[in-house]
Structure 1
Amino acid sequence: MTKKKYIQLILILGSLTALGPFSIDMYLPGFSGIAKDLNTTVAKVSMSLSSYFIGISAGQLLYGPLLDRFGRKKPLFIGLLVYILASLGCVYVADIDSFIALRFIQAVGSCAATVASVAMVRDLFPVKDTPKVFSLLMLVLGLSPMLAPTIGGYVTEDFGWHMVFLILMFMGIAILIASQIGLPNTYKPDTSISLKPKPIIANFISVLKEPQFFTYAFTGAISFSGLFTYVAASPIVFMDIYHVDAKTYGWIFAFMSVSFIGSSQLNSVLLKRFSSEQMIFGALITQSVITIAFQILSVYNLLGLYETIGMLFLFLGCLGISNPNTAGLTLAPFAKNTGSASALMGAIQLGLGALASFAVGIFVKDSVAPMVGIMTCTTIVAFIVLNIGKRFIKQKVEASGDDAMMAH
């Protein structure tokens, strides 16, 4: 493979990877504008985030078998087409319920890009190169939440929130064209794969029965739902409670991403000295201490804007360390069912994330305390699940450092 071809493939796969985070984060600064235009509350607008997470969660399970059965390009084409049309729908939406529904459809479409990009790394690159390619894609995944809300903040302030969805629509069109022209057809469709529900469900159940899978998948997903809580609550907390404008909010969000990305990079350094298990245990203990302190401070109204940012920064740092390790240990036992295992892991993570962001829409109104309450509960429950689940694991399969992948 020539260097030019290599760079071209990385750029296309990177843009497929970035579509999801951009669709999640770019419209966050527009929450109060959307609420005003659609005559509703910011908390109700945050339900459109929950519906997006539910859409990606369902899409993960749907596209896995489809990409194996029909090859990579057809499902990707249809998914991106759905995404483009739903984005256009969001521009002309007139009420909040249609907006929430369109966000669900948009998510199901964008999910094709996310799942296909992971599958195609395995098709297009030799095994020894995949860790390097994945870490480049991780960088894209990490940079997207920094860039998206900052760009979104400026677009929203200067052109209004409708413009954000027009930009997402054009991104979808550009990615659709690039992927159809620039990606080779390396994968032969496997017609032996059945799309009947029964064998698919049986396959997922066999994955779920593996003790190492359910222990680390649920530990990771429950603690990671703290991130979804933060994403869903942040427009309410910063723009409604602390009254920052859309541009400032974008910058705060970008600053927070530094913690998550920085700590996941630090993670690879620490793995030279500690095992993944020790890292998860340490991160969850630290996270518990941070959330309990955060909860006490928030209940007694001792937090201003800067203190809240500081506590959230520490909290996200712990997630950046535990998440790649739980992902690595979750997938480690699967040599042949990796696709189903990673789809199921993603679905559990996003499903629980949707529940957490749904809770935000109900409870977070005029105080930071409910958001912190949800984060404290998820952290402590994850710690309990980890310690109970570990007892069921007879033989632990180690994660090689290469497998640790994280979802946004």
Structure 2
Amino acid sequence: MRIRPNSLGFTLLLGALAALPPLAIDMGLPALKALGTSFNAPPAATGLTLSLFMAGFAIAQLIFGPVSDRYGRRPVLFIGCGVFALANVMCTIAPSIHALILWRLVGGAGAGAAAVLEMAIVRDLFEGAAARTQFSYINLVMSIAPMIAPTIGGLVLTIADWRSIYGVLAVGGLVLVGTIAIGFEESIAHRDQSAISPRRLISNYLRVLSDRICVGYALVNALSFGCMFAYVAGSPLILIQVLGISTTLYGWFFAATAFAIMAGSFLNGRLSVRGVPPSRLLKVGLTLAVVSAIALVLVSISNSVRVITLLPLLVLNTFCFGLIAPNAKHGALQPVPEVAGVAAAVLGFTQMAIGGTLASALVAFFYDGRTAIAMTSVMSLFASAAFAAYATIVRPAEQADRSRLQPLPKQS
């Protein structure tokens, strides 16, 4: 039974593909202590089950994107979800912490295939406002994952051991494999038979990386993600360690900001349907992100850090990510439809490398154990850089492109 591209089921499928990474990361968080005890492993080793998953996720996108331009989205997506399911099965029977780390790396690669192809599929099937709307609703579905994943992991631990968490993830991967086999039709219209030959591969990557509009939007997306991820990395340090709130209250706090992303994504989708230009939505989102991030810095340096002072500004900031991300993703993929897999790979890799890895590393490096300055400063830095990338790279490139396409006046 084929799932129609304009149906709710199709959006949920793409949202599920995009949600694999946060589910696979956040469901395992409650089990880190238990698996460390099980293997008599230090915290540094258990932490590698997360960091190497993210490494596999980031790098695999650079491979699966071009491969899907050659062989099509469906077979590569089928293999990626199959690899994710297999890796999690192997995690359930891992005999050592080293084996678990290895299979988490492989599982990250499978999740990378799902994430990169979700973006390429949208570019294959949708144009303009329809594509931005689709990205908005996928973002909405994906935002549910970090809200429910730790709870699911905790519930599994109450009835079984930590290995069962990976069993649940394996079942999820198998469900996606079955859904793709039964309901997903190939989305790419024309396959590039030489897409993975070394010369063509380099040429395609150079084509994407030399397109200022594509690169500019990829930077806007990655830097905006970095602003949001600085909050994700720093909030438990600030709220639990510095302010001393309970883990239950922190869960509600985190849920409020995740809901804000959902609200921003939903609003962006509705406004896109009504014909509001993406440039207007991006300007509003980027401006409010900078303003809220700078306000957070001022709160931090004035020693006014309280839950009541942080929550409204963080809700506003994460709401902005819901406005920015769908339009930035669409803007990055729109100019290069013939190599959408490569463009999606660049988009996904930069998001994880610049936004995820760099932002979290900066927060960890500058965190002083007493204040929120590290988190809020990194948020402000990335929000300002995203605004600058849009103003100095994207807008001039788009204006130059419009001028080039504008017909010359007729000579009298």
| Length-normalised TM-score, structure 2 | 0.79
Partner of 2:407: none
User: Are 2:342 and 1:340 aligned?
Assistant: yes
Q: Secondary structure at the match of 2:104?
A: helix
Take 1:90 and 1:239, find their aligned partners in 2: how far apart are those partners? 30
Partner of 2:387: 383
Partner of 1:401: none
Residues 29 and 246 of structure 1 are in contact (CA less than 8 Å); yes or no, is this contact kept in structure 2?
A: no
Distance change (3 Å), C-alpha of 1:300 and 1:214: same
Partner of 2:206: 205
Structure 1: gaps (5+ residues) = 399-408
Deviation at 1:80, TM superposition (A): 2.7
User: Are 2:365 and 1:373 aligned?
Assistant: no
Residues 92-111 of structure 1: matches in 2 within 5 Å?
A: 102-111=103-112
Q: Which amino acid aligns with 1:207?
A: V
User: Are 2:400 and 1:395 aligned?
Assistant: yes
Q: Deviations over 1:274-301 (max 9, x none)?
A: 6433433333332222222212322444
Take 1:308 and 1:358, find their aligned partners in 2: how far apart are those partners? 22
Partner of 1:402: none
Deviation at 1:170, TM superposition (A): 2.1
Take 2:216 and 2:128, find their aligned partners in 1: how far apart are those partners? 27
Distance change (3 Å), C-alpha of 1:175 and 1:235: farther
Deviation at 1:225, TM superposition (A): 0.9
Q: Deviations over 1:27-64 (max 9, x none)?
A: 3444565677665458x866654443332222222112
Distance change (3 Å), C-alpha of 1:159 and 1:307: farther
Residues 133 and 268 of structure 2 are in contact (CA less than 8 Å); yes or no, is this contact kept in structure 1?
A: no
Deviation at 1:316, TM superposition (A): 0.7
Aligned CA-pair RMSD: 3.9
Residues 91 and 166 of structure 2 are in contact (CA less than 8 Å); yes or no, is this contact kept in structure 1?
A: yes
Q: Deviations over 1:74-131 (max 9, x none)?
A: 4334323332343245456688776655433221111222334444567789999867
Q: Calculate percent identity across the aligned residue pairs.
A: 29
Residues 60 and 346 of structure 1 are in contact (CA less than 8 Å); yes or no, is this contact kept in structure 2?
A: yes
Structure 1 stretch displaced more, 245-254 or 311-320: 245-254
Take 1:14 and 1:33, find their aligned partners in 2: how far apart are those partners? 30
Q: Which amino acid aligns with 1:340?
A: V
Deviation at 1:217, TM superposition (A): 1.9
Residues 120 and 340 of structure 2 are in contact (CA less than 8 Å); yes or no, is this contact kept in structure 1?
A: no
Q: Deviations over 1:344-375 (max 9, x none)?
A: 22221122122222334444463433222221
Residues 97-246 of structure 1: matches in 2 within 5 Å?
A: 102-120=103-121, 136-156=137-157, 159=160, 161-184=162-185, 190=191, 192-243=193-244
Distance change (3 Å), C-alpha of 1:145 and 1:196: same
Take 1:125 and 1:275, find their aligned partners in 2: how far apart are those partners? 16
Q: Which amino acid aligns with 1:354?
A: T
Take 2:128 and 2:396, find their aligned partners in 1: how far apart are those partners? 33
Q: Matched residue pairs, number?
A: 397
Take 1:4 and 1:278, find their aligned partners in 2: how far apart are those partners? 31
Structure 1 stretch displaced more, 338-347 or 298-307: 298-307
Take 1:30 and 1:245, find their aligned partners in 2: how far apart are those partners? 18
Deviation at 1:207, TM superposition (A): 1.5
Deviation at 1:203, TM superposition (A): 0.8
Residues 9 and 182 of structure 1 are in contact (CA less than 8 Å); yes or no, is this contact kept in structure 2?
A: no
Q: Which amino acid aligns with 2:26?
A: D
Take 1:102 and 1:397, find their aligned partners in 2: how far apart are those partners? 48
Residues 322-333 of structure 1: matches in 2 within 5 Å?
A: 322-333=324-335
Deviation at 1:162, TM superposition (A): 4.0
Take 2:377 and 2:240, find their aligned partners in 1: how far apart are those partners? 20
